[in-house]
Structure 1
Amino acid sequence: MGFDFEFDLLRELTETSGVPGYEDRVRDVVKRELAERTDEVRTDAMGNVVGTVHGAADPDYEVAVAAHMDEIGFMVKHVTDGGFLKLDALGGWDARVLRAQRVRVHAEDGDLAGVIGSVPPHTLTEEERERDDSVDGVVVDLGMGSEDVEAAVSVGDLVTMEQSTVELGDCVTGKALDDRVCLFAMLEAAARVEEPDVTVRFCATVQEEVGLRGATALGVDVDPDLAVALDVTVASDVPGVDEDKQVTELGEGAAIKLKDSSVITTPKVHRRLRAVAEEEGIDHQLEVLPSGGTDTAGFQNTNGAKPVGAISVPTRYLHTVTETANGDDIAATVDLLTAFLGSETGEHDYSL
């Protein structure tokens, strides 16, 4: 099919591991890319990465753009006598999707392939069939004897899902599009924005999936005059879901966030995002997300009241290994962010 963006980089970002607090591998990719696209790059004690493009006209006015690096995953909490791994969740999993999935265990001496066990339905009782799935009930099978497992794996080792990222019709599907597709959009915008009037700080944050922790800390250090966060949002535009619960629709463009459960975006900011999209002919839709938080909230009041906005990539099947986003929506997100940053002069009044 082909897309109007660098699919290979998106695939690398999504397939690279990085759970909350241990974003090392994906952070290396982000640092490499930001070094090529910004004037300077730095990290902080939590592992957030900031690439700065200095403003040509008003360098003292700062806009922060944020997208989080971490993906939901697990930490090994116990190794059973039989050599199976019990897990503690890092982020919000829907345990129904975990049965019989392949995983990768990141042990000290290297990665190990594993599968999440699933009991054949032939042997289940009626009570077992009706029992709700939970992460606490998940076990990972490494296909090794118990002594070998105990020698190779320790409590505290990390576990991520094993999945490739592929084209699916007009879409991209794989693991960790939340939020690597937005990291990708941010990096693409960083490459396209040339000599902005204001200073732009492109922020790749950590630990969003466990409470917006990286962005909250970064909001103190960066202290922007304006912040725009990027994240995926719900697109439940599939059979069986009422239209008012679908939130967004694939193929209808970038989503401009009005609210989620963590933030109400600044009206003047989301109105200007809409105005830029209309002026540039960029497909867009409005997002009202009933539950779920984003890094937007991490910047809104951490270092005093700040104007904030957010752009979202509509995504089906969130927090699974088959997260799916439309290629045109991804391109529209890049276009809108680039146009918005290019039009920011530091003179827009976002006060209420």
Structure 2
Amino acid sequence: MDEHAVSFLQELVETPSPSGFEQPVQRIMRRELSPLADEVRTDVMGNVIARIDAASSQAMRVMLAGHCDEIGFMVRYIDDNGFIYFAPIGGVDAHLVPGQRVHVHTADGPVLGVVGKKPIHLMEPKDRETVVKLNSQFIDLGCADGEAARKLVAVGDPVTFAVGFERLQGELAASRGFDDKMGAFIVVEVLRAVRQRGVPPVEVYGVSTVQEEVGLRGATTSAFGIDPQIGIAVDVGFASDVPGVEMKEIGEFKVGGGPIISRGANINPALFDLLLRTAEEEGIPCQIMGAPRGTGTDANVMQLTRAGVAAALVQVPLRYMHSPVEVLSLADIEATIRLLTGVIYRLDSDFSIIPN
């Protein structure tokens, strides 16, 4: 991946965007998409929708969706001693939170705090084995009292882990927020590739969706508005190449092994076959995931919008999902961009989305 693309990805993952507070990252998305698309707009939910026209006005509409929201927290209560109590935004593992540095995103900018915890020396032996519930954890801003804290932060302010993007060995990188600002990044880069390659055979909608982590909400409304014939969600998938993950339960998925293509009830069979054939013809390594039910991603709601949409799900394998140290391969991201670009140019007028 070239350094400009890496810098763009880093900017995305380091820009705060907990569900419901995606505006800062969506401003970046509009900046990047505007030179690439024939139209860029933001809907009432906050989804950013970019369109590249097809050669024919009768062409199919294809929606690529990557959600830009990340997990985080929200300020719920400030006590008289200046400690901040909070609630999770999305699925946050309570094990991981104590001892973390966090940013409270206020009207005047980010305020640094730490999630405090009683020292192990002062804990009873039985308490050392117990996870402190999130509603009992607190943020210490370093304020003398509640009055000082309330001058800095307000109830309802969002909070994120105060960590960013770092390169590991080879093509691997770590950051918070790869789930799924990486998917939004891929959507932009596919549209960039389409603009460079030439007029596509389908009308392409690239969507940076919001509020996925709290119920697939942005994809629900944007898919209804676009009314696509084909919808492809771009998200992260569980890597199983680490200790403690049972391959018999989720399958074998390796970071660096290429994009994961889902197969099952949520996935249109013809679209799955096209994704697989494209990977083979383009020499792109890929991994297959059996998904016997709804996938819990934007593909789920896209499939069920209006009278139904031919849906697919393409995922980049990710280690340590919903943690401050999510790990993926930049090479897998590049392979996913190539795969989706190749699929778009194979969606000619003869392609049928009707299962037979």
Q: Identity of counterpart residues, as a percentage?
A: 36
Cα offset, 1:246, TM superposition? 5.3
Higher alpha-carbon deviation: 57-66 or 228-237: 57-66
Q: Which residue of 2 aligns with 1:257?
A: 262
> Are the equivalent residues in 1 in contact too, given 2:59–2:349 (CA < 8 A)?
no
> Are the equivalent residues in 1 in contact too, given 2:275–2:343 (CA < 8 A)?
yes
Residue 247 of structure 2 is aligned to residue 243 of structure 1: yes
Q: Distance in 1 between matches of 2:80 and 2:133?
A: 21
Cα offset, 1:58, TM superposition? 4.8
Q: How many equivalent pairs are there?
A: 348
Q: 1:317 to 1:289 in 2, by over 3 A?
A: farther
TM-score (norm 2): 0.94
Q: Which residue of 2 aligns with 1:311?
A: 314
Q: Which residue of 2 aligns with 1:203?
A: 207
TM-score (norm 1): 0.95
Q: Distance in 2 between matches of 1:49 and 1:235?
A: 29
Q: Which residue of 1 aligns with 2:173?
A: 172
Q: Which residue of 2 aligns with 1:187?
A: 188
Q: Distance in 1 between matches of 2:350 and 2:116?
A: 57
> Are the equivalent residues in 2 in contact too, given 1:98–1:116 (CA < 8 A)?
yes
Q: Distance in 1 between matches of 2:243 and 2:109?
A: 42
Q: Any idea what SS the aligned residue of 2:35 has?
A: helix
| Residue type at the aligned position of 1:211 | G
> Are the equivalent residues in 1 in contact too, given 2:33–2:188 (CA < 8 A)?
yes
Cα offset, 1:264, TM superposition? 1.9
Q: Which residue of 1 aligns with 2:96?
A: 97
Q: Distance in 1 between matches of 2:104 and 2:349?
A: 47
| Residue type at the aligned position of 2:274 | R
Q: Distance in 2 between matches of 1:188 and 1:278?
A: 21
> Are the equivalent residues in 2 in contact too, given 1:75–1:89 (CA < 8 A)?
yes
Any runs of at least 4 consecutive aligned residues in structure 1 with deviations exceeding 4 A, and if so which? 2-5, 289-292
List runs of 5+ in structure 1 lacking aligned partners. none
What is the root-mean-square deviation of aligned Cα atoms in Å?
1.7
| Residue type at the aligned position of 1:310 | L
Residue 161 of structure 2 is aligned to residue 156 of structure 1: no
Q: 1:176 to 1:246 in 2, by over 3 A?
A: same
Match of 2:225 among 221, 246, 263: 221
Q: Deviations over 1:164-193 (max 9, x none)?
A: 201111201101000011111111111001
Residue 326 of structure 2 is aligned to residue 327 of structure 1: no
Q: 1:228 to 1:4 in 2, by over 3 A?
A: farther
Q: Distance in 2 between matches of 1:178 and 1:37?
A: 24
Q: Deviations over 1:85-117 (max 9, x none)?
A: 111111001111112111110112221011111
Q: Distance in 2 between matches of 1:246 and 1:144?
A: 46
Q: Deviations over 1:115-159 (max 9, x none)?
A: 111221111102211222322122111111222102221111111
> Are the equivalent residues in 1 in contact too, given 2:66–2:184 (CA < 8 A)?
yes
Q: Deviations over 1:276-302 (max 9, x none)?
A: 100111110012358961101121112
Q: Distance in 2 between matches of 1:268 and 1:88?
A: 42
Residue 114 of structure 2 is aligned to residue 131 of structure 1: no
Q: Which residue of 2 aligns with 1:24?
A: 23
Q: Distance in 2 between matches of 1:225 and 1:64?
A: 8
> Are the equivalent residues in 2 in contact too, given 1:116–1:141 (CA < 8 A)?
yes
